[in-house]
Structure formats: C-alpha cells, structure tokens
Amino acid sequence: MVHVLSGRTLLRPTDPERSRVFYGEQLGLAVYREFGEGPERGTVYFLGGGFLELSGRSEVPPSSAVRLWLQVADVAAAHEELRGKGVEIVRPPVKEPWGLIEMWVADPDGTRIVLVEVPADHPIRYRPGI
C-alpha cells in the first residue's frame, strides 16, 4: 500500500492572476505556500485536510468533470458572503434528499465547487454503535 503523507488538487488556470483573486480574495482560502515568480507563479491554498495548488497556465479550462467538494460550517452564511463578493452562484443552498445542505459556485474557468454543510443530526457526523 502506498503511504500517502499529504495530498493536493492541482489546477492549471487559463488566467492565473484571476484565479488567485477568486480563490484567495473571493473564496477566502488561506495561503499555505507560494513558489516561483511572475504571473504563472504557484500558490497553494489550505483546503481543510488537503490543499489546492494553482500553478502554471493552461490554454483551455479544466475538464467539466473536475469538481471541488468543500465542507463549511454554515452554507447560508457562505452564500451571503460569496454573493456579496460577486462570486458566481450556480445554485443557492438546498437541503438535499440525502440530508446535506449544498450550494454550488464556479471559479473563473468554470470549475464547479460544492460548498456543503453537514447538519448536526446527519449520520455522517455520528453513527451510534460504530
């Protein structure tokens, strides 16, 4: 078995500076580290238990199959904050049939990001007997 010590998702944005503004200023992710110089320098953001790295540049946006799943404490508060910052809200918060409250946004290249709130009574938080 591979012993994984850390992991990260890598995105190659079409406009690195625009994406840094989105992830750092609009979404409010904290910077873990930066490397390189110039407009295509790398920036790694904290994602709770993982990392998101923006580095390099791509001529085409990432595949629509790429999605980010981010758990937040209060999705309604995140909705208000992000809407106020001009973030594209793809879908406002909705309680899903499986009990999670989900909201969808998109980054500047169209990468879909789901912000998820896990209610206190949801089985993902606690399962008696396990």
Which one, of 115, 123, 76, lies nearest residue 99 by Cα?
123
Is the distance from CB of 79 to CB of 103 less than 8 angstroms? Answer: yes
SS3 call for 91: strand
**pLDDT, position 93:** 98
Could you tell me which residues are beta bridge partners of residue 65? Answer: none
Burial of 49 (0-12, 13-18, 19+ CB in 10 A): exposed
Spell out, as residue ranges, where the chain has pLDDT lower than 70.
3, 5, 127-130
Q: Where are the alpha helices (DSSP H) in the chain?
A: 16-20, 75-84
How far is the C-alpha of 73 from the C-alpha of 119, rounded, in Å?
A: 9
How far is the C-alpha of 113 from the C-alpha of 97, rounded, in Å?
A: 19
Q: What is the pTM of this model?
A: 0.86
**pLDDT, position 79:** 96
**pLDDT, position 127:** 66
Could you tell me which residues are beta bridge partners of residue 103? Answer: 115
Six-digit token string for 21: 């503004």
Q: How far apart are the first and last CA of the chain?
A: 25
Is the distance from CB of 23 to CB of 52 less than 8 angstroms? Answer: yes
